Amino acid sequence: MSELPKSYTAFDRSVEGAAAFDRTDELRSYRDRFHIPRKESGEPVVYLTGNSLGLQPDTAREAVNEVLDDWATFGVGGHFRAKHAWMPYHEYLTSATAAIVGAKHSEVVVMNSLTVNLHLLMASFYRPEGKRTKILIENHAFPSDRYAVRSHIEWHGLNADDELIIAGKSNNLDILPETKIESILEEFADEIALVLIGGVNYYSGQLFDMPRITRAAHAVGAKVGFDLAHGAGNVELKLHDWDVDFASWCSYKYLNAGPGGPSGVYIHERHSQSKMGRLAGWWGHDKSSRFEMPDAFEPISNAESWQMSNPPILSLAGLRASLMIFSEVGIASLRAKSLKLTAYLAHLIEHDLSEDIHIITPSNPSRRGAQLSLRVLPRSTSSPPDSPSRGRRIFEHLEAAGVICDWREPDIIRLAPVPLYNSFGDAWLFAEHLKKACTRIV
């Protein structure tokens, strides 16, 4: 996990300073590779919600149209005769995907959607037996993760209130120290079957120390997986080297695949090459005999064996377009800019708005990705009880001004300065709009 260079701690807060940073940004040309929404005036919005939906790459339409054209031209023959044949289409994404998450090619596959994949993975990795029946997740885990783990516990005939441990819930912690996770693992050492953590927490933006959590979980005999919806394409990952058992992520946030874009899966090679149980489907069957339609399932000897159905080519096309950009830039270069850009934005907020805004995201750059979660502090207690909170009203003011971020109940504004297409000018404009909103809304 990278530390922020000391030279980044003293920023010129003027608009000229932002412009100077943009002129020296080695990735500045990539901003032009994305379609930035515009206001009615024609000016680009300040788009800081790539942690919810990434912007469209300028090559996405071409990639999708290629599939449509080949479908029109070849019909079913497109499986073999298309420019990028559909039969192996998901394999075109393997190399770039493996590089983004730090895995071997044999350990990744793109398929389904995120929660579907978490269910499939838990079907393999959550096998309660004897005393080892509990699942450990973090406070403020994404709701879909909470629903999924509870349903798996109940599927096995167990009581989710007894078997689900939520680290940090009793104190309602925004930031969860790894020491808390380690202490729970030690306390329930022979009872925890699975640890499932959001590698970058969607609510706070906290980047967890994944290798540390993995070591602690394995030390007590538990399996460990990560939901990397806010990690893939955002921070540097080394899943294979960290010895993570499994992970999954969506592709429509930092990976810019488009709304509902397909999910990625990582499974350590020791599991995919074993006889571990999995929910089978024909696309996970050995490729050499798949079309012989045998009665018995013979899994592919890599992560692809968790596939169930043939892949959605139109959805994969948008992701392929974006991954080509990631392959050009490299996650290390993106992370380097992200560290500087996020620190710059945090500095602008903290310097001028400390009485109005508390950033709950860790201040240590190595403990966060390209996200800041802002808690708006109240100034007055005289507002009518049914009126929106000050934070909500400030968020709506920003939205009306063409500043696109997002709101999370009860009191958090989330923003993501994405290094592929956000500029230092965007960060400066956001801070200016936020200052005006905080002055006007009390």
Q: Where are the domains of the chain?
A: 6-56+330-440, 63-328
Give the gyration radius of the chain's Cα atoms.
Answer: 23
Alpha-helix residue ranges (DSSP H) falling in 75-177: 78-81, 94-101, 114-125, 143-155, 160-163
From CA 342, how far away is CA 225, in angstroms rounded? 27
Nearest C-alpha neighbor of 282 from the set 254, 304, 258: 304
pLDDT for position 383: 60
Q: For 191-306, where are the E strands, in sequence order? A: 192-198, 223-227, 246-249, 263-267
CATH topology match: 6-56+330-440 vs 63-328: no
From CA 163, how far away is CA 136, in angstroms rounded? 9
pLDDT for position 271: 96
134 three-state secondary structure: strand
CA-based max dimension of the chain:
73
Beta-bridge partners for 368? 206
Tokens, residue 422: 């956000």
Going by C-beta distance under 8 Å and a sequence separation of 6 or more, which residues neighbour residue 210? 197, 199, 226, 237, 242, 244
Statement: 6-56+330-440 belongs to CATH 3.40.50.300: no
From CA 44, how far away is CA 402, in angstroms rounded? 8
pLDDT for position 414: 98
What is the mean pLDDT for each group of 10 consecutive residues in the chain (442 residues)? 48 91 96 97 97 98 98 98 98 98 98 98 98 97 97 98 96 94 98 98 98 98 98 98 98 98 98 90 96 95 96 97 98 97 96 93 96 91 72 96 95 97 98 96 90
Tokens, residue 122: 């838990």
pLDDT for position 9: 52
DSSP strand pairing (412-415 vs 372-376): antiparallel
Number of C-beta neighbours around residue 33 at 10 A: 19
Tokens, residue 135: 């699942």
The kind and range of the H/E element at 34 are strand 34-35
For domain 63-328, the CATH class is alpha beta
Q: Does the N-terminal peptide bond of residue 410 adopt cis geometry, omega within 30 degrees of 0? A: yes
pTM: 0.95
From CA 197, how far away is CA 139, in angstroms rounded? 9
pLDDT for position 242: 98
pLDDT for position 11: 80
